Amino acid sequence: MTKYLVRLECATALDEPGDIAADFDTVADALFDLDDVHDQDLAVDLETRTLTFSIGVVADDEFGALDRALGAVRTALHAAGRGTPGWERHYRMLRQEVEEEPIGAV
């Protein structure tokens, strides 16, 4: 098993900065409550209406890491009322990055 850092950038369909900020708070709380990931972080850009998830996972390979990170994002979005299935109507995936964490990283 290897540690990976996965970054997922999503565009929201929400238009109002207040709605995006409210969703952000709920999603961030849910993301930080997850036990099966590490070093979770969430950033928002209200101008471009994007959220960037950074999630550390342990997996056999990059594909497994991406799958685990996507599962964590779906779980967090579901907690914000953007239920699965259908979360992609509220958040569209723009970019995905998977990188192996250096040996010794916690």
Share of the chain above pLDDT 70, in %: 88
Question: pLDDT value at position 102?
Answer: 75
Token pair listed for 97: 């990055």
Cα(58)–Cα(92) distance, integer angstroms:
25
Q: What's the pLDDT tens digit per position in 63-101?
A: 999 999 999 988 888 877 766 666 666 778 899 999 998
Give the list of residues 6+ apart from residue 68 with CB closer than 8 angstroms, or none. 6, 36, 37, 55, 57, 58, 59
Q: How much is the pLDDT for 15?
A: 85
Q: Does 12 have pLDDT greater than 80?
A: yes
Check residue 106 and give its pLDDT: 54
The predicted model scores a pTM of 0.85
In whole angstroms, give the CA distance from residue 99 to residue 89.
27
pLDDT of residue 2: 93
